[in-house]
Amino acid sequence: MEYNITYRQKDKGWQYIISYKVNGKWKQKSKQGFSTKKEAKPFAEKALKELKTSRENEKNIINENYDSITFKELTSQYIEHSKLYKEYNTIRSYSNYAKAFESLNDIKVININKVSIQKVVDSLVTTKLSSSTIKEYLKRSTLFFKYYIENYNPNYTNPINNITLPKIEKKINKKALTKKELDLLLKNLKNIDSDYYIISLLAGSCGLRAGEILGLTWNDIDEINSTLNINKQWKRLDKKVYGFGSLKSNNSVRVVPIPKNTLKELKEYHLISITDIHNRILPFNETKIYNLNHKLRKISNISIHELRHTYATLLISNGVDFKTAAEILGHEVNQLIKTYSHVTNDMMNKATNTIAKIF
């Protein structure tokens, strides 16, 4: 960078003037009010250093519109870009994350800083959103700013870093039924609706997620080995289109044991049920799950996902080790231990009583 520094007396003090060339044109940066020329020099040198850094950073700018794009424009671009690579539900979640920060929509991204984000977080706290939900919004929304850094301005600092979060409240354990309560619930459902019954049976006796249940085909049943092959799920692929999709994670692809009674009930259900062109056991969409959850709440104040939770709790409390339980459930072992720590405590109490009897 071509430049020169001059000093002069002005208004009974001293002033430094930095003249520098940008695109063939000379510009100036100055400051006055120093008692002596000697006092002005270190300030001039510091200003020159900052100016050089700024000019060097400008060379790294990727997109010339880096200083004019608004947050709304950025999130719209990111979501449109993601549609090429992500599934529908993921795109829908990105829109929800962007909506949580919509108060920033008209602000230029270059002007959004940590204070801007903290104000949004503080506002979200007043809406009674849980701390864990707000934390998830922050975690996901950082993707927007990473996209800005990667495609517009690598000198920008992600404003979501080091944001102060409200204290995460202790998570309330999901409800789990006892074996007796589960059997009673299934008995009631069998008398009410055969579809509801089979869905709940697969959740409560095989530990399947709702999408996995809807994605099961009759070919996934291995009668010889009494197992289910869990290799896909039924999900929304587009706004109005449903179909088979990948599972939640790689370790969700698994083989699950089918209890004898469950296999027997599935065979009987097959004789009276209808199927679709995909040969699905339960040819329904998420509306069926929504209605079932409503019914389950009325009967036992429980959800279909909590039937899966019931299954996991019964496995672990009856001595199935965490590694095996994790493989059956399609879960990470560490997360399983964390989620079912209450069961671990029960098992510890049982072990304490057993040891007392032995010794």
Report the run of H or E that residue 263 belongs to, with start and end: helix 260-272
Say which residue, 310 or 161, is predicted with more confidence: 310
pLDDT at 230 (0 to 100): 95
Query: Among all chains, which residue has been given the structure tokens 């289109």?
Result: 241
The pLDDT value given to residue 270: 94
* 259: pLDDT strictly greater than 90: yes
Band of pLDDT at residue 208, cut at 50, 70 and 90: very high
Distance CA 154, CA 58 (A): 10
**Interval 75-110: pLDDT, tens:** 999 998 888 878 888 888 888 889 989 999 999 999
Instruction: Give the pLDDT confidence score for residue 135 in this predicted structure.
Output: 84
Of the given ranges (19-33, 56-70, 87-101), which has the lowest mean pLDDT?
56-70
CA–CA gap between residue 235 and residue 220 (Å, rounded): 17
Q: Return mean pLDDT, the chain.
A: 87
Q: What are phi and psi of 113, to 5 degrees?
A: -130, -170
- Mean pLDDT on 44-67: 73
pLDDT tens sequence across 320-329: 999 999 999 9
pLDDT range class, residue 162, cuts 50, 70, 90: confident
Q: How far apart are CA 245 and CA 81, in angstroms?
A: 20
**Structure-block tokens of residue 272:** 């009276």
CB distance 305 to 224 below 8 Å: no
Mean pLDDT for 197-221 is 96
Question: What are the tens digits of pLDDT across the range 103-152?
Answer: 999 999 999 999 999 999 888 888 877 777 888 888 888 999 999 888 88
pLDDT at 55 over 60: yes
**Are 6 and 19 contacting, i.e. CB atoms less than 8 angstroms apart?**
yes
User: In the Cβ-directed half-sphere of 239, how many Cα atoms lie within 13 Å?
Assistant: 1
The pLDDT assigned to 56 comes to 66
238-244 mean pLDDT: 83
Claim: this prediction has a pTM higher than 0.85: no
What pLDDT score does 154 carry?
83
pLDDT at residue 346 tops 80: no
Q: What is the pLDDT of residue 349?
A: 75
Least confident of 14-18, 29-33, 66-70, 348-352: 348-352
Containing 254, the helix (H) or strand (E) segment is: strand 254-257
> Is residue 296 predicted with pLDDT exceeding 80?
yes
Pick from 86-100, 104-118, 224-238, 279-293: least confident? 86-100
Using CB atoms within 10 Å of the CB of residue 314, give its burial: 0 to 12 exposed, 13 to 18 middle, 19+ buried.
buried
Q: Would you state the torsion angle of the CA atoms of residues 49, 55, 60, 62, taken in this order, to the nearest 10 degrees? A: 150
